[in-house]
Structure 1
């Protein structure tokens, strides 16, 4: 690895260690491609919805598939990807926080073009398309498909592509939090798919982390709006509005899921015992 210095538009220096593939990554080309093609996320979303609900109809009269090995490999691949992404973006965010403070970590746009983070920012938004494949296993295994699952997949894809093209403030927090939560979530899925017994508190921890992520997402969106008025936090009112609505809906849906899965269900079990 090679030690590099980045001087961003706010004249501070961040020293980070890059792998060669991260250093060679053309972030300007990536941003330009997304500016021209971000609307294709609507096509992916529409195709996803058609395949999901069409697939459910197709599977109604057919036996469910096992798919244990493919599911283990799929979940394990996404777990490894998310863990590495969380470590790399987390290292960049730590440098920003320790060097320039909390406000700068939210408002600075260097996350999209800085060492280390630039590659993983683009990898993050692109990964939201293949992540739609999660639902294929649910459909083919004839498991219950809840609204939260497919709604979350579609809206994250749309918002991620929509936001990356404008390099809006808050992206570093949004992406790093998502990488971190997914590192836990896909590791859990991989272990369960492999037949390992995972303690129930780990599942509770994951959903709690998701709820905390949504709360922090709302907080960051609110701060971006407030600091944008001062002219030093780049974003757009439309983006902040969509981010707020998205994170608020996630907060309500994940909280509802937590209550019905862990609180109400536990209360019923205790009462039965």
Structure 2
């Protein structure tokens, strides 16, 4: 069995009460594991939507809490960045030996690639998605706009993680690992901006998110095609074998990740093309003013 020093060290640091937690807290048991039913997940997202839109209305007559939230916002983002980095390390420590021993196809499609440790990490990542909803609460308290992309992305990602846990898709680790890497960078960026540290990462973060979705879709569409083709035609020269996981989870993954790619590309074009045009126009005006002064 491969050594797992990161997992062992992390486990040793946990309080004894957590190490002795009920099985339902670290294995997916619908109805027993918290937020493991469609009703519970949907109700939580609905409550969050009511909170943020109700909060936005309540904040219309109040001053923004920008200064008082500086350090809470910093701590929030540090926790998410550090948590993303640790969870990424734990997942790679688990999946890379499986990849080396059995190959990439098995790592994304084999039933044995859904290990008990990875299931625990997927559950933790799923709960991260609910903690990340606090991002939007900060926006409301700061009286920042609630963009459709932000609200949709946060709510859809929590439900997507639910569907993959319920559908036990072995390819999940690819999407989650890429997402954790992006979040490691993104939340570090937000933490630095919270304390007014100049950080030219904004465009890099958006670019990395788009690359993430392109890679996600390449692997997820391949895994989905492999499953459906194998089910229809059996093993042929065009298929490597079956791919583990429920079909509804595969369809949900393809649909949601595709929507993310289009929305983030549109966001990139709106944000950075507009900024570039404004910068060019300002430079042109400055040049014209300089010529007139001469």
TM range (shorter): 0.7 to 0.9
Match of 1:10 in 2: none
Match of 1:95 in 2: 97
| Match of residue 108, structure 2, among 83, 106, 109 | 106
Alignment deviations for residues 32-87 of structure 1 (CA, whole Å, 9 cap, x no partner): 13498332110111001101111111111111112111101111111110111122
Helix, strand or coil at the partner of 2:221: helix
Larger Rg: 2
Distance 2:172 2:136 in 1: 26
Distance 2:186 2:129 in 1: 15
Conservation of the 8 A alpha-carbon contact between 1:38 and 1:162: no
Conservation of the 8 A alpha-carbon contact between 2:114 and 2:170: no
Alpha carbons of structure 1 residues 95 and 204: separation in structure 2 relative to 1, 3 Å: farther
Distance 2:80 2:100 in 1: 29
Conservation of the 8 A alpha-carbon contact between 1:224 and 1:235: no
Conservation of the 8 A alpha-carbon contact between 2:26 and 2:123: no
CA displacement at 1:187 relative to structure 2: 0.4
Match of 1:140 in 2: 141
State the Cα RMSD in Å: 2.3
| Match of residue 85, structure 1, among 84, 87, 96 | 87
CA displacement at 1:29 relative to structure 2: 5.6
| Match of residue 72, structure 1, among 63, 66, 74 | 74
Alignment deviations for residues 214-262 of structure 1 (CA, whole Å, 9 cap, x no partner): 1122122211212214353112222222111101110011111111112
Match of 1:130 in 2: 131
Say whether 1:220 aligns with 2:219. yes
Say whether 1:31 aligns with 2:28. yes
Say whether 1:19 aligns with 2:8. yes
TM-score (norm: length of structure 1): 0.86
User: Structure 2: which 5+ runs fail to align?
Assistant: 13-18, 231-240, 284-294
Alignment deviations for residues 6-29 of structure 1 (CA, whole Å, 9 cap, x no partner): xxxxxxxx5533316659684796
User: Structure 1: which 5+ runs fail to align?
Assistant: 6-13
Helix, strand or coil at the partner of 1:129: helix
Match of 2:49 in 1: 49
CA displacement at 1:158 relative to structure 2: 0.7
Alpha carbons of structure 1 residues 217 and 112: separation in structure 2 relative to 1, 3 Å: same
Higher strand share: 1
Bigger mean CA offset, 27-36 vs 226-235: 27-36
Helix, strand or coil at the partner of 2:100: helix
TM-score (norm: length of structure 2): 0.80
How is 1:220-239 mapped onto 2 (pairs within 5 angstroms)? 220-228=219-227, 229-230=229-230, 232-239=242-249
Match of 1:260 in 2: 270
Alpha carbons of structure 1 residues 110 and 210: separation in structure 2 relative to 1, 3 Å: farther
Count of equivalent residues: 258
Conservation of the 8 A alpha-carbon contact between 1:72 and 1:190: yes
Alpha carbons of structure 1 residues 156 and 109: separation in structure 2 relative to 1, 3 Å: farther
